[in-house]
Amino acid sequence: MLTLEHVSKVYRVGTFGGRALVAVHDVSFDVRDGEVVSLIGESGSGKSTIGKMILRLIPATSGRIVFNDVDISTLKGPALKEYYRRVQGVFQDPFSSYNPIFKADRVFRLIRDEFFPTIAPSEWQGRVEDALRAVGLNPGQVLGKFPHQLSGGQLQRFLIARALLLDVEFLVADEIISMLDASTRVDVLNLLADLKSRGLSILFITHDLSLGYYISERAVILYQGCILEMGATERIFGTPLHPYTRMLMASAPRLDKKWEQVEIELRGKHLESAAGCVYYDRCPEATRDRLCRTQRPALVAVDDDHFVACGRYA
Amino acid sequence: MSLQVDNLTVYYQTLRGDVQALEDATFSIADGEIMGLAGESGCGKSTLANSLIRLVPPMRFVRGQVRLDGEVLPIDDARRMSDYRFSRLSVIPQYAMNALNPTRKVGKMVAELLGSKGVDFAAMIPELKRRLDLVELSHDVLKMYPIELSGGMKQRVVMVLSTLLNPSLLIADEITSALDVSTQKAVAEMLVGFRDRGFVKSLIVITHDISILYQIADTILIMYAGQLAEKAPTDVIIRAPRHPYTKLLIASLPEVGVRYAKRRLSGIPGRPPLLLDPPAGCRFRERCSVAFEKCLEAPPFVELEPGHFVACWKELGEDADA
Ligand SMILES: Nc1ncnc2c1ncn2[C@@H]1O[C@H](COP(=O)(O)OP(=O)(O)O)[C@@H](O)[C@H]1O
Ligand SMILES: Nc1ncnc2c1ncn2[C@@H]1O[C@H](COP(=O)(O)OP(=O)(O)O)[C@@H](O)[C@H]1O
Ligand code: SF4
Ligand SMILES: [Mg+2]
Ligand SMILES: [Mg+2]
C-alpha cells in the first residue's frame, strides 16, 4: 500500500541555513494493506519527519514515497486532493489541530466543504454522528462544543472520526496516545485496532514500546534518522538484536519486571564518528569491534522478517 | 514519620464556586519512603503537591493539618512557609523544566536561590559539583543558559537544585513524563540515588505512569477525583489492589508482551465527575460496578492490613447485610 524507498530528509539549519541536518537517512520500509507498523525511537530520531513526508507536509530530499504504485511527489490538483482523502494524520497535541475560537466540530464542516460539497446537510449530519459513535463518543454530548470544553481524549477521537468520514485508507498516528490517561489510552488504542480490522493501514509513531507492541504487526526502530532494526513485532520484542533496541527494551518501565542494572549512556562514551555506526558513541558493545567506528553497517536480514543494522550481524 | 497529613482539604476559588480538588486527605510517609502518587489527570495530584509548598489563591485552605518531622507546618500562611520551602521541603513542579529563568545562567540561578536562604554560594560549590557529577552533568552547565540544555539535562539540573540543602521531603511532579525511556530510567533511578545518599529523607513521586512507580516506589497512593482511594506497598497495589478503581486502572495498562489480538485490554467506562459540584459520598460511585446505598456517604480511608489503606465501603464489609 505505502512504500518508502531510500527516503532521506536534510534540513538546512543555522544562520542562513548554512548547516545540513540529516533528519532521515536512507529509510526504506513498507506498510501493507490493513497493517499497523510501529515507528519507534527516541525523540529527535526523525519519526515525525517521516510522518510529515508521508502526509506531504514537507518534501523528501531524496528517495521516493509510493502510495498504491504512485510516487506521491508527482501528485497535483485533483489527484493530490484524492490522496488527502485517503491518507490522513492525527498528531500528538490534539489541541493544536483546533482553532480555539471555533467550535470543535468545525473540522467536520471543513471536510464536507472540501470533499463532499454535494452531500445534503441532513445526510452529512447523519454521517458525522455515525462516525462519532464509531469512535465511542455520544454526538449529543460533544457536538457544538468549543475545544476547551472537551477533553484531550475526546478531541483526539474527533480527529479519528474525521479520518473515518473521509474513509481514509492510511492513517499516520503521531504520538497520539502519550497525552492521554491510562484508561482513555486503552480506548483509543482499541479503536485503532478495530479500524485496522476493517482494513485501515496505520503508521503508529510512538516512543512507548508497550503501546507499539500492543497494536502493531511490525516495528521499525529508528535512531538519528536511520533504521537500526525492523521486522515482525514478535521478533523485535522477543529477540531484540541491536544494542539500541536492547537499551530501549531495558529502559521501558514494565509492570512484569523491575529494571535491571544496565548502564545507560546518556553521554556518548566514544568520540563521535561520521563514518561508522550512528550508535557508535553510545554503544556498550562497540569497543570490541573496530569496524563500528569506520564502517556504517547495512541493514541485513537475520531471520524471516527481521532486519538489523549492526556490525555484529553484518 | 517524615510527613503526616490529616484531613487536608483544599479548594480552588472560581467565579462559579469552589473546585473541590482535595478532600480530607489523610496519609503519612515514613522516613526513607518513596511514595508514588498516581491517578487520572485532574484528580488532584498537583494540588496536593502545591498545597504543601505554597498554598496561595486561587487555592483556598479549607481544613487539615500537615506535620513534617513532627512539626506542624503553617501551610495556610505562604509567607511563613518560605522558611521551610527549599530547605525543609522542596517541590519540583510539573513543567519545571520550562520554568527555568531563560535569562539567567544556571550557576547564577543557584547562587541567587542559595542567597535567598542565607547560604554562602562559594562554600556550597564543592558539594554542588559533586552532585552534578552524580547526575552525570558536566560542571560547564553552571555557565550555560537553560536553553542550551536538553530536556533530560534541565530535569537533572532542577533535581540537583531543589535538593541542595538536603530537605526532608522532595515532591517530584511528573518530572519523567516528557522524557525518552532511556532518560526517564536514568532520572528515575537518580531520584532513588538521592534518597539512598540521604540528600532527601523521603520522596513523593507524582506520575500518571504507574509502570515507573512500580520500578522505584516503595508505596503507591492512588487518588480519584480529589479523594484518596488506596495506599499500599508497591507490589500490593500492582498485584493485589482492593479498591475497585485501582483494579480497573491496573487492568487497563498495556505491557510489553500483551497484544490486542491475544488479550484485549479494557478501559474504564465513564469519566471522572466535575469537581465544581462533585457527587456526595464516594466520588467513584457512578463508575463503580459494585456500588450500593452506603456509598452515598464518603468512605473513610481505613488501614485494612498493615500499610494497606482503602477507601471503599465494599472492602470495609459494609455490604454484609445489604
Ligand atoms: N523544521 C525543521 N528544521 C530543522 N530541523 C528540524 C525540523 N524539524 C525537525 N528537525 C530536526 O530533525 C530531527 C528529527 O526530528 P523529528 O522528526 O521531529 O524527530 P522525532 O519525531 O523522532 O522526535 C531532529 O534533530 C530535529 O531537531
Ligand atoms: N487554578 C485553578 N483553578 C480552578 N481549578 C483548578 C485550578 N488548578 C487545578 N484546578 C482543578 O483542580 C482539579 C485537580 O487538578 P490538579 O491537581 O492539577 O490535578 P492533577 O495534577 O492530578 O492532574 C482539576 O479538576 C482541575 O481542573
Ligand atoms: S465505596 Fe462504594 S462506590 Fe466507592 S468504590 Fe467502594 S463500592 Fe464503589
Ligand atoms: Mg515527533
Ligand atoms: Mg498535575
If 0-12 CB within 10 Å is exposed, 13-18 middle and 19+ buried, where does residue A147 land? buried
- Please tell me the predicted confidence (pLDDT) of residue B321: 54
pLDDT over 90 (residue A288): no
Band of residue A83 on the pLDDT scale cut at 50, 70, 90: very high
Residues 88-147 of B with CB under 8 A from A: 136
- Decide: A184 in ligand 1 pocket, CB within 6 A: no
pLDDT in tens, B148-157: 888 888 888 9
- For a mutational test of ligand 2's pocket, the pick from B9, B12, B59, B94, i.e. the residue with the most ligand atoms closer than 8 A to its C-beta, is B12
B208: Cβ contacts below 8 Å, ≥ 6 apart: A181, A182, B38, B39, B40, B41, B174, B177
How would DSSP label each residue in B270-282? S-PPPSSSPPSS-
Kind of pairing between the strands at B169-173 and A70-71: unpaired
Region A125-131: what's the mean pLDDT?
91
**Distance in angstroms (rounded) separating the CA atoms of residues B120 and B71:** 26
Which positions in chain A touch B152 (Cβ < 8 Å)? 266
Rounded alpha-carbon distances, angstroms, from residue B247 to A1, B44, B134, B253, B267:
41, 19, 38, 11, 11
Which positions in chain A touch B288 (Cβ < 8 Å)? none
Distance from CA of B140 to the nearest CA of A (A): 14
- Please tell me the predicted confidence (pLDDT) of residue B132: 93
- Is residue B185 within 8 Å of residue A253, measured between CB atoms? yes
Which positions in chain B touch A248 (Cβ < 8 Å)? 181-182
Q: Which atom of ligand 2 is the closest one to the Cα of B274?
A: 25
What's the CATH number of domain B3-88+168-186+195-255+263-321, 3.20.20.70, 3.10.20.30, 2.60.120.10, 3.40.50.300? Answer: 3.40.50.300
Distance from CA of A246 to the nearest CA of B (A): 11
How many other CB atoms are there within 10 angstroms of residue B37's CB atom?
28
- Measured in whole angstroms, the distance separating CA A228 from the mean position of its chain's CA atoms is 16
- Please tell me the predicted confidence (pLDDT) of residue A269: 47
Q: Give whichever of A252-266, A268-282, B31-45, B308-322 has the largest mean pLDDT.
A: B31-45
pLDDT over 60 (residue B28): yes
Region A254-277: what's the mean pLDDT?
67
A268, closest residue in chain B (CA to CA): B136
**Distance in angstroms (rounded) separating the CA atoms of residues A44 and B202:** 34
pLDDT over 70 (residue A104): yes
Q: Is the dihedral of CA B62, B64, B69, B74 positive or negative?
A: positive
Contact flag B255-A266 (C-beta cutoff 8 Å)? no
Does the CB of B266 have a partner CB in chain A at under 8 Å? yes
- Please tell me the predicted confidence (pLDDT) of residue A67: 96
- Please tell me the predicted confidence (pLDDT) of residue A262: 60
- Please give the domain boundaries of chain A with CATH numbers for all domains: 31-60+68-237 (3.40.50.300), 239-314 (no CATH)
Region A268-294: what's the mean pLDDT?
72
User: In this complex, how many residue pairs, one in chain A and one in chain B, have their CB atoms less than 8 Å apart?
Assistant: 114
CA atoms within 13 A on the CB side of A296: 12
Higher pLDDT, A41 or A14: A41
Q: ipTM of this complex > 0.90?
A: no
Contact flag A213-B181 (C-beta cutoff 8 Å)? no
Return the residue whose CA atom lies nearest to atom 7 of ligand 2. Answer: B12
Report the candidate in B95, B124, B129 with the shortest Cα–Cα distance to residue B111.
Answer: B124
**Across A82-96, A104-118, B110-124, least confident range:** A82-96
Rounded to the nearest 5°, which phi and psi values hold at B4?
-130, 115
How many other CB atoms are there within 10 angstroms of residue B289's CB atom?
8
**Distance in angstroms (rounded) separating the CA atoms of residues B196 and B215:** 15
Contact flag A253-B271 (C-beta cutoff 8 Å)? no
**Residue B144: what residue type?**
M
Return the residue whose CA atom lies nearest to atom 18 of ligand 1. Answer: A48
Q: Which atom of ligand 3 is the closest one to the Cα of B290?
A: 7
* C-alpha B194 – ligand 5 centre gap (Å): 23
Band of residue A160 on the pLDDT scale cut at 50, 70, 90: confident
**Across A214-223, B168-177, B179-188, least confident range:** B179-188
Contact flag B185-A186 (C-beta cutoff 8 Å)? no
**Does residue A8 sit in helix, strand or coil?**
strand
If 0-12 CB within 10 Å is exposed, 13-18 middle and 19+ buried, where does residue A180 land? buried
CA atoms within 13 A on the CB side of A184: 20
pLDDT in tens, B125-151: 999 999 999 898 999 999 999 888 888
Higher pLDDT, A302 or A264: A302
Domain ranges in chain B? 3-88+168-186+195-255+263-321, 96-166
Q: What is the mean pLDDT of chain B?
A: 91
- Decide: A45 in ligand 1 pocket, CB within 6 A: yes
B302: Cβ contacts below 8 Å, ≥ 6 apart: B309, B310, B311, B316
**Distance in angstroms (rounded) separating the CA atoms of residues A180 and A170:** 22
Higher pLDDT, A195 or B228: B228
- Is residue B255 within 8 Å of residue B207, measured between CB atoms? no
pLDDT in tens, A217-236: 999 999 999 999 999 999 99
* Cis before B58? omega within 30: yes
* C-alpha B12 – ligand 2 centre gap (Å): 8
Higher pLDDT, A95 or B114: B114
Q: Give whichever of A22-36, A164-178, A196-210, A292-306 has the largest mean pLDDT.
A: A22-36
Q: What is the mean pLDDT of chain A?
A: 87
Band of residue B191 on the pLDDT scale cut at 50, 70, 90: very high
- Give the N- to C-terminal CA distance of chain B in Å, as an integer: 38
**CB under 8 A, 24+ apart: contacts of A74-82:** A80/A56, A81/A114, A81/A115
B34: region left, alpha or beta (phi > 0 left; psi from -120 to 50 alpha) = beta
pLDDT in tens, B233-264: 999 999 999 999 999 999 888 776 777 777 88
Output the nine-digit C-alpha cell for B100. 527555568
Output the nine-digit C-alpha cell for B164. 541542595
Q: Which residues line ligand 3 (CB under 6 A)?
A: B 244, 282, 284-285, 288, 290-291, 295, 299, 312-314
pLDDT over 70 (residue A102): yes
* C-alpha A154 – ligand 2 centre gap (Å): 19
- Decide: A51 in ligand 1 pocket, CB within 6 A: no
Distance from CA of B8 to the nearest CA of A (A): 25
- Tell me which residue in B40, B184, B260 faces A251 most closely, judged by beta carbons: B184
pLDDT over 80 (residue A203): yes
- Is residue B110 within 8 Å of residue B161, measured between CB atoms? yes
Contact flag A255-B248 (C-beta cutoff 8 Å)? no
Band of residue A70 on the pLDDT scale cut at 50, 70, 90: very high
- Please tell me the predicted confidence (pLDDT) of residue A261: 67
pLDDT over 60 (residue B78): yes
Distance from CA of B55 to the nearest CA of A (A): 26
Q: Where are the alpha helices (DSSP H) in A14-105?
A: 47-54, 77-86
**Distance in angstroms (rounded) separating the CA atoms of residues B93 and B98:** 10
Region B203-217: what's the mean pLDDT?
93
B174: region left, alpha or beta (phi > 0 left; psi from -120 to 50 alpha) = left
**Residue A98: what residue type?**
Y
